[in-house]
Structure 1
Amino acid sequence: QKLIEKRLKNRRFLLVLDDIWKYGNEDDWKRFLVPFQKEQGNGDTILVTTRFLEVAEMVKQRDKPVHLEGLEPKEYWTLFLACVFGDTNQRNNDDNLIEIGEKIVEKLKGSPLAAKTVGRLLRNNISVDHWTRVLESKEWESQTNEHDIMPAMKVSYDYLPFHLQQCFSPCALFPEDYKFDSEELIHFWIGLDIIHPDNRIKRIEDIGRNNLNDLVNYGFFKIGTGDSGKHYVIHDLLHDLALKVSSQECLHISSSSPRAVEIAPSVYHLSISMSDPSNSEDGIVKENFMKELNKTRKILKTENLRTLMLFGDYNASFVRIFSDLFKDAKSLRVVYLSTMFYHVEFLLHNFSDLVHLRYLRLVSKYYSKKQVPKSIPRFYQLRVLDISDWEGVHSLHEEMGNLVKLRHFLVPSYEFHSNICNVGKLENLQELKRFKVKQESNGFELMELGKLEEIGGSLHICNLENALVNEAHEAKLLRKNCLQRLTLSWKKGRSNTSPDEEDQLLERLRPHSNLHELCIDGHGGSTCPTWLGKNLLTKGLEALCLDSVAWKHLPPLGELYVIGQSVEERESGEEFSSCITGPCFRNLKRLELIGLPRLRRWVANEVCPWYFSLIEVLIVKDCPELTELPFSSYTSCYPLETDSCVTWFPRLNELKIEDCRNLLSLPPIPYSDALCSVTLTRVGRGLEELRYSSKTYHSLSIEGNGDMHSLDETVLAFHNLTQLQILCIKNCPPLAEKHLQMLTMLETLEINGSSNLFLPLARSDTIWQLPVTSLKLWRCNFSGKEVTCLLTHLPELLA
């Protein structure tokens, strides 16, 4: 609260609290408002939206709550046309269509959501016949009042293709506002056995992905983004629709708001949400929930259940209730159990007998000594096994190879995958994160990988020092056209390397040209394989990592020079390693060069501006002999005559360089607006560390080691730092006044170990101020006059 109050001081704000469902008491609301209460009349606003009159009455100030109605007819018609025809100006001028559309709009009650779903339905077939069928649907007759838009939702659902209805309706089993991951949804559909390959698309995952995209296009899912990335959400009214259309087969019970639900005897799919752990201790809520469970027990035939999903936390008393309720559930195909405080057998006494199980997801978010159930290898029909959130013991039964129909095995640690003996039996497996070559005597040979013809995603093959050259072809990497990420690694620090044999082995481990990301780690050979070098066959790579290789010849990455190994080569200083003269990586976005002890110079040539134009991430670590990188023409020994100011890596947004003490020339940071993250550690002779970020706050910290001569335009691009908010300087020369003036957004300034605050201009009548609110100075040899002079430029200083 203090931090919020500090941030909002002297600033106007608008705070929007959208769609509040739950409310406490007025005291809780007043405590929440404390950091937002400042002097009156400065225009601060808090806007609350809710569906509940009680919430509106509690939070209102002087004015009455505003009751939102539907959009006005004219605006709504404009929105409807946009939903049907898109944002373009191409409108169908057919008078018959316009007339039908106007009649449909009258039934949508001014609801934007209804316009979106019905509009997309009409967009798929812009014809009089189709629009007339929608208008004359009998669903409109079920409208109960002028605000009822459920019939509009139902009309849209009725016109979905049957396979999309099958995918949408079971989503009623998930709690409202549930954030779906795309893979999670597809795996759920696979477990329900509702997606199947067709003549055009063989992989059911691709069909599931197409179905999800179609449901988004029809408006039944919306795409959101958050800390965990992209996700999918069903609008709560559409979730109500899913509950309605699936009511004969699906039942969802929530402990936080138990209500009377009509339970059909034909229900095959059941989910229970313990959405608020505190509710299990609430007497009234608990009593109502118990009544609902007892009602379920009397009506529901649990022996017929095909799906059981438990969301949220549940205590011991509920575990006993659930175990009694599901004691006869032996036909389950889909099981999802969250927050496993107890062994799964406590909930499902017949767990080991669920031989029809196709989907199993177990979540244990609190570390315990629980092991993955030993009966899992008996589930021969299992397609999806998801223990990605398992915090128990990371061990598997040795007979996991029995799950011959398994397609997806999601794990919290790659060790789960690397411990599967005879993994080649899992011929349908879509991804194997890690494979250890010959970690035991049998069942871990490269030929096990050759049997996994459908494998995609990422694959890490480690311990390749145990592999023989004649075994390499048995991995059949060239046939794995769905594989996107591949890591080939050898144990580092080995004394018994055989360079010629390791070169041959790597040459035979050639991947398919569809590969997106490649990492080669610890290879003991002397050169890169031809498929990565002179006969480049992996042109589509988007990411390349070379870690701890001492190759004499490197992939085509511009002009690369390495230190020679022979006496003659060492006397000459360096030798030419590679050059872009023919085929090269056309899509490279990420490049990592790590632990390359022989790399001396990386020089640009005429092809480089085009070649480097897509790179977004560059990481260079532990290259002790490196003296040059191709950042700009003035850093190169061979500047381009055509353009001496060319910018290399124009799309680079992340740069990380570590332990390259001989690298003396770098462009000023940040040298372009695209660059939003920079980490330089032990680079050159004067810089100990530099960290720059513009992702959330614009911040820069820089630490010297006593050898830095100046902190000027050659080190920092001050013209690109006008948005900087936090600046920390340690053991560095002072900033020039002209540079400090450019930091017009600076809020925090910290100086540690400097002899001067800043270098004032010789003659300056300019009056300048910075919005600094926090200043920290320590271990500095400043005079009182210097500090006073600085403070005159910081009128907003708070601390």
Structure 2
Amino acid sequence: MRDLAARARKIRARFNEIIKEYEDLCMTDNDGEQQIDLATQRLQRHTSSFAHEPSIHGRDVDKNNIMQMLLAEVRPMAVLAIVGMGGIGKTTLAQLVFNDPRVRQYFDRFAWICVSEQFDVKIITRNIISSLHKQKWDVMELNDLQEALIKQIERKKLLLVLDDVWNEQRAHWDSLCAPLLTTELCRIIVTTRSKTVARLVQTMPLYSLNCLTSAASWSLFEQITFEGQDPASYANFIQTGEGIVKKCKGLPLAIKTLGSMLRYEASEERWKYVLESDLWDLDQQQNNIFAALELSYRHMPVYLKRCFMALSLFPKDYHFSQDKLICLWKSLGLLDNVQDKDRAGRFYLSDLLKQSIIQCNEHEYTMHDVIHDLACCVAGEEFLRVENDIPDQISHDVRNIAIFFPWTVAISKLKHLHGSSSLRSVILSSKDGVGGPVEIPEQLFLHSKQLRTIVFDGVSLARPSLPDSVGNLKHLRHLILRDIGGLRLPTSICQLFNLQTLDVTTSGNLKPACIPNGIGRLVNLHTLPVITIKRGAWHCNLRELKDLQNLSGKLCIKGLDNVTNVDEVEEANLCAKQHLQALNLTFPDGDWQYCEHGQEPALATASHEEILESLRPHSHLIELSIEVSRSCRYPNWLGDTSFTNLTLIRLEYCEFECMPPLGQLPALKHLTIAEMARIERIGLEFCSLNPRIKGFKSLVTLEFEWMPRWLQWSGVGDGAFTSLHTFSIHHASELRSLPCVLSSSLAELKLRDCTGLVRIPCLPSLLKMDLRQCNGLTELPAFPLLQKLDIGQCTSLARLPSLPLLKVLILRDCPNLTAAAHFPSLTSIHVKGGFRDELLYHLMNCHPSLENILIVSESIVHLSVEPQNLPSLASLRLSCPNLQCCDGLDGLTSLTELRIYGCIKFSFPKLLAGQP
């Protein structure tokens, strides 16, 4: 009975935990399968086609772009999707287009429907009829409704706006559109926050709406807040107002909301309060920002809601990579329910992107401040971020805490949590790479025994090692110690038998971490991004990998120079680790200097050739990198056709004397070969050892870098490189020619410091070419599809061929270039360095499609333009210190930008001299 009572108490405690998590998640009955009930319907927003145009700023360009797309489209039916985060002004933009006089004149019928979450085809169809007929329509059967709609729109020109669409069901969309096909012409504008919805409905390129510029933001705020007031009366509020506008980051809804709050507000104290407060702390009766954005949160599936909450641990304006975000989610246990955590993390990130929750800028991601505020609001006390404003007390309900610089003060607050049974994650991070050494309180490891995650990222520790007491954290799942130079892990970490992640990655010149012998006992390890092999009994060795069968994701093995026995390599049993996706094999341990061939490290008893041969990975591997190997031979498994998933290979500083048969790999897409100092010839073996296999069928990018002895490349037959898109060679000064049959699909070619190259084959699909220091080239073939040509320091090049589709031409220091054919599509010329006057005149005055000219040269004294030959020239920039005049300048009627800088001897034409 006693055991039964104890079990009952545990079950009840677990139910209480679930109820609390349910409440923290703000879950509703709509989670799981998306259903709409009456309560949800009451929360739906309502919009109309009418806009208050005086309060709209900064959308003229967007409006004109959309109108041009709509009116220029020739297909009978077309759908344009406007995509953007909540509150960015999608509805307002659609209203501007809907009510424009040109649109009203072009179309016969107009309908505006606010769809929101419930996409009911019958209701939407009935609303379209009511909008067209200007009276309520009570028919309920879909067939009758569609027949009635057809009668009203048949052979008419219809403009339909569907505002705030969330539907992702193709069948619903097709059913709605069926009667619309009977029109003579139909244009549908769909506004949505979801890129998934946009891609479902679009027949035209989707239109991504961005935030307002700083000038437009201030103009909107000023009009809403100070309308009708004398500017002198609000002069004292301008500086604070500009700070408030900056805080809104160009989001119109936030600007309007805060502007309305402060309208006729005369208290400077109130203005400063709004400036310094987070949005969710402001008066909720006046604050409709979160009412609009909370819809995005409610629409997330349950698993994504917690991932979104975790974003509150990042500071505002924080730029994070995909790897860092997925690492955070994994460390918080948010991906524990899936086997392939990295893949699931990428899907979740993609979902947030599609819903316009986060934005992508090249390879980094960020959140708008308002979205960040929403994440903090819904996260409640479970997630706490500590920055400059250190709270006096940290609630015992905090489960996950992220501390940013200043650490010393913040860490002292952790003393309040030393006995907390709720604390699960501690994250210590440097936001900008600043902050002095920090002393980690040992009590954190002694008393916070429920910790599941510790993350120290870019932190300078006062001591080079963690305290031994870290071994007390028996429940620890994730130990992430990134970018901490010279870190020494205590042997007690080998007692953390529940540990799933051990990440001691370092970047730049930081010394790698020392991992103790014994980590092979951590059989639950899934993530071990890097392990460094060192000599000595204390340090870990390759044998430690033997029992780590669950390793997945990426593994970098450094210090293979320190392997003393090939048996140690074979015991590592890499070929059995089927979950590994990326493998990096590096022979130096991080404090290496490159050795010439034949100079093995002291005390080494295993050759690089034997080590590589014994490190054969599992055939499921996706990415492979080998760095600084002094083996003359490549391992026999490299290029084996059993590696059917291998998509990326990088070979760097390897002394192979011939190339492995990498063309046999069926899935290989990206190949980089760098610093291969012994390669002199590449032949048929590179593509395949089997004559029946056409080499590199899937390869998309191919890069060669620093190949000083490479003389010849042959053996490329028909059918090889059929998917190649980008090809580059950097610093191969002895190479004489490229294969004649390279690729019919090649779109980009980059050749730099290939001084021995005398010929380039004709590449029929080439779109972009970049040539630098290719002094052996005297001419180029005519590339029929080339659109961009960038040539620099090609001293022997004498003439440019006919390039009918060339749009951008960039020339740098080609002194012997004397002639160029006519380029009928040319829109932009950039010329830098010395060139013949005749060539410059031809390039500038014989191409009527030119829109942009940039000339930077010290040798040019006189330029001449023929205005009648340059009807489209919009931008002219000159930086020529010896330039004295430019004839015809005053006749360029289409010019919108003229920049003349560093031209101290230049005299302006009389018509321009008096202008500001």
Aligned to 2:621: 515
| Pairs within 5 Å for 1:607-622 | 607-608=718-719, 611-621=720-730
Query: How do 1:530-679 and structure 2 match up within 5 A?
Result: 530-533=636-639, 535-547=640-652, 548-552=654-658, 554-557=660-663, 577-580=685-688, 581-583=691-693, 584-594=695-705, 599-603=710-714, 605-608=716-719, 611-621=720-730, 623=732, 625-630=734-739, 632-633=740-741, 648=743, 650-653=745-748, 655-658=749-752, 660-667=754-761, 672-673=766-767, 675=768, 678=770
Contact 1:114–1:153 (CA<8 Å) still a contact in 2?
Answer: no
After TM superposition, give the deviation of residue 774 of structure 1 in Å.
4.5
Residues in 1 aligned to 2:299 and 2:790: alpha-carbon distance in whole angstroms = 56
Q: Does 1:494 align with 2:597?
A: yes
CA contact (8 A) 1:519 1:546 kept: yes
Give 5+ residue unaligned stretches, structure 2. Answer: 1-56, 62-84, 89-110, 117-123, 125-161, 179-189, 201-283, 588-593, 665-679, 779-786, 866-882, 901-916
Match of 2:831 in 1: 749
1:239 aligns with 2:330: no
Identify which of 817, 839, 846 aligns with 1:758. 839
| Matched letter for residue 758 of structure 2 | L
Q: Structure 1 residues 628, 448: CA separation in 2 closer, same or farther (over 3 Å shift)? A: farther
Partner of 1:271: 384
Question: What's the secondary structure of 2:721's corresponding residue?
Answer: helix
Residues 1:447 and 2:543 aligned together: yes
Q: Alpha-carbon deviations, 1:399-434, whole Å to 9, x = none?
A: 354544141516342866663233534444444444
SS at match of 2:585: strand
- 1:776 is the counterpart of 2:856: yes
Contact 1:344 1:373 in 2 (8 A): no
Secondary structure at the counterpart of residue 831 of structure 2: strand
Q: Counterpart of 1:519 in 2: which secondary structure? A: strand
Report what 1:730 is aligned to.
813
The one-letter code matched in structure 1 to 2:712 is R
Q: Tell me the CA shift for residue 702 of structure 1.
A: 0.6
Compute the displacement of 1:188 (Å): 4.3
- The verdict on how the C-alpha distance between 1:711 and 1:513 changes in structure 2, with shifts beyond 3 A counting, is farther
Determine the structure 2 residue equivalent to 1:337: 428
Task: Pick from 449, 457, 474 the counterpart of residue 355 of structure 1.
Answer: 449
Query: Structure 2 matches for 1:75-154, cutoff 5 A?
Result: 77=124, 78-79=162-163, 83-86=167-170, 89-91=173-175
Query: What residue is the counterpart of 2:91 in the other structure?
Result: none
SS in 2 for 1:614: coil
Distance 1:429 1:749 in 2: 57
Q: TM-score, normalised by structure 2?
A: 0.52
What is the identity percentage for the equivalent residue pairs of Structure 1 and Structure 2? 19
Deviation of the 1:615 alpha carbon: 3.4
Call closer, same or farther: CA 1:333–1:737 in 2, change over 3 Å.
same
Amino acid at match of 1:612: F
Q: Which residue number in structure 2 is paired with residue 710 of structure 1?
A: 798
Does the aligned pair in 1 maintain the 2:578–2:621 contact within 8 Å? yes
Is the contact between residue 188 and residue 359 of structure 1 (CA under 8 Å) also seen in structure 2? no
Please list the CA deviations of residues 570-612 of structure 1 after superposition, one character each: whole Å capped at 9, or x if unmatched: 9xx998645532455543334344565664432364444xx41
Cα distance change on mapping 1:196 and 1:517 into 2, 3 Å? closer
Q: In structure 1, the residue corresponding to 2:828 is in which secondary structure?
A: coil
d(CA) in 1 for partners of 2:884 and 2:437?
68
Change (3 A) 1:319 1:164: closer
Trace 1:31-110 onto structure 2 (pairs within 5 A): 72-73=112-113, 77=124, 78-79=162-163, 83-86=167-170, 89-91=173-175
1:300-449 equivalences under 5 Å are 300=395, 302=396, 305-310=398-403, 314=406, 319=410, 322=413, 329=420, 332-339=423-430, 341=435, 344-345=438-439, 350=444, 353-364=447-458, 373-374=466-467, 377-378=470-471, 379-388=473-482, 390=483, 393-399=485-491, 401-404=494-497, 405-409=499-503, 411-413=505-507, 419-422=514-517, 423-440=519-536, 443-449=539-545
Shift of the 243–728 alpha-carbon distance from structure 1 to 2, 3 Å rule, reads same
| 1:334 Cα deviation from its structure 2 partner | 0.8
Q: Secondary structure at the match of 2:649?
A: strand
RMSD: 5.6
Return closer, same or farther for 1:408/1:151 CA change in 2, 3 Å cut-off.
same
1:481 maps to a residue whose letter is Q
1:106-140: per-residue Cα shift (whole Å, max 9, x none)? xxxx99669999xx9xxxxxxxxxxxxxxxxxxxx
Q: Specify the code of the residue in structure 2 equivalent to 1:749.
A: V
1:8-44 Cα offsets, whole Å, 9 max, x none, are xxxxxx95699xxxxxxxxxxxxxxxxxxxxxxxxxx
Give me the TM-score of the superposition, normalised by structure 1: 0.59
**Partner-residue secondary structure (3-state), 2:702:** strand
Distance 2:443 2:526 in 1: 31
CA gap of 1:777–1:273, structure 2 versus 1, over 3 A, is same
What is the CA distance between 1:530 and its match in structure 2?
A: 3.2
Give 1:335 deviation, angstroms. Answer: 1.3
> 1:385: Cα distance to partner?
3.2
Is the contact made by 1:111 and 1:149 (CA closer than 8 Å) also made in structure 2? no
Whole-Å separation in 2 of the counterparts to 1:597 and 1:114: 51
Which residue identity lines up with residue 225 of structure 1 in the other structure?
C
Q: Deviations over 1:665-697 (max 9, x none)?
A: 225899722x4x74x55545369xxxxxxxxx9
Residue aligned with 1:474, SS: helix
Q: What displacement does 1:650 show?
A: 2.2
Report if the CA contact (8 A) 1:417-1:432 is conserved.
no
1:342, distance to aligned residue in structure 2 (A): 5.8
- SS of aligned partner of 1:447: helix
Find the aligned partners of 1:151 and 1:709 in 2 and give their Cα distance.
61
CA distance in 1, matches of 2:323, 2:657: 39
Corresponding residue of 1:478? 575
Instruction: Provide the secondary structure at the position in 2 that maps to 1:798.
Output: strand
Asked if structure 1 preserves the Cα contact closer than 8 Å seen for 2:442 and 2:467, the reply is no
Say whether 1:229 aligns with 2:317: no
Gaps of 5+ in 1: 1-13, 19-48, 53-70, 95-109, 121-142, 252-268, 281-289, 559-569, 634-646, 688-696
